[in-house]
Structure 1
Amino acid sequence: MGNDAVLRICLVWLAAVMVLTGMYTQSLKKTAATYLFGVLAIGGVVLPDWKFFDRPLSQWCTLVSGANDDDGPTQSAPPARMKLYPVRIVIYTAVYGFGFREWLNYIRSS
């Protein structure tokens, strides 16, 4: 991961959401479900900035070339941002939308 500050900020926000969920529901199980959903969501968005995922979805079935292995540690700076591919956005929106809806239904249930 290129920027640890982003991960730290996301985890602090997750802790705040967990506190609010715990205060609202008064349920340790729902707070734990919030933690699990949050960690998986953060891990799915923040962590996969590897060379494998930073290319079009159609190329995910092919191996990543090791062309940059000769460059050494001097050029190991991560890209400033992930490239936006429409298929990736559709997949992320579908998966995270479904997950968020199910989490919200679980939190609202009695």
Structure 2
Amino acid sequence: MANDAALRTSLLWLAALILVVGICTNSFKKMMVTYVLGVAGIGGVLLPDWDYFNRDFSRWPYPVTSEEREASLHQGSGFLRFANSPLRVIGYIGVYGYAIYKWWEYVSG
């Protein structure tokens, strides 16, 4: 992962959320569910090799060449490259939105 600061910040916010859930619910099980879902969510957004997935779909079975790696560096920041794929954004909103909804139902219930 190129940006360790984003991972550290995300994990600190997750720790704060786990603390709030623990204080509000007095449930160790709900704290652990929050931890597992939070780490999975952070891993799903920050850890994938976006240079690999930003290529044409027909190139996915093959390793990333040095030319493709170099071309991805000139595309701009990671957020701008992520925003260029509306299907990925829609997919992430759907999956993470549903997961957060189910988590909230579990924690608040």
TM-score range, shorter chain: 0.7 to 0.9
| 2:100 alignment partner in structure 1 | 100
Which residues in structure 2 correspond to 1:1-110 (within 5 Å)?
1-55=1-55, 59=57, 62-68=60-66, 80-82=77-79, 83=81, 84=83, 85-109=85-109
Identity %: 37
> Deviation of residue 67 (structure 1)?
2.2
CA contact 1:21–1:31 (8 Å) conserved in 2:
yes
User: How far apart are the structure 2 equivalents of 1:26 and 1:67?
Assistant: 51
Q: CA deviation at 1:65?
A: 4.3
Larger RCO (CA under 8 A, 6+ residues apart):
1
Point out where structure 1 has 5 or more consecutive residues left out of the alignment.
Answer: none
Are the structure 2 counterparts of residues 62 and 53 from structure 1 closer, same or farther at C-alpha, using a change threshold of 3 Å? closer
Deviations 1:14-37 (A, max 9, x none): 000000000000000000000001
Cα-Cα RMSD? 2.4
For residues 66 and 98 of structure 1, what CA distance do their matches in structure 2 show? 32
TM-score (norm 2): 0.81
Mark the runs of 5 or more structure 2 residues left unpaired by the alignment: none
Aligned residues: 102
Higher helix fraction: Structure 1 or Structure 2?
Answer: 2
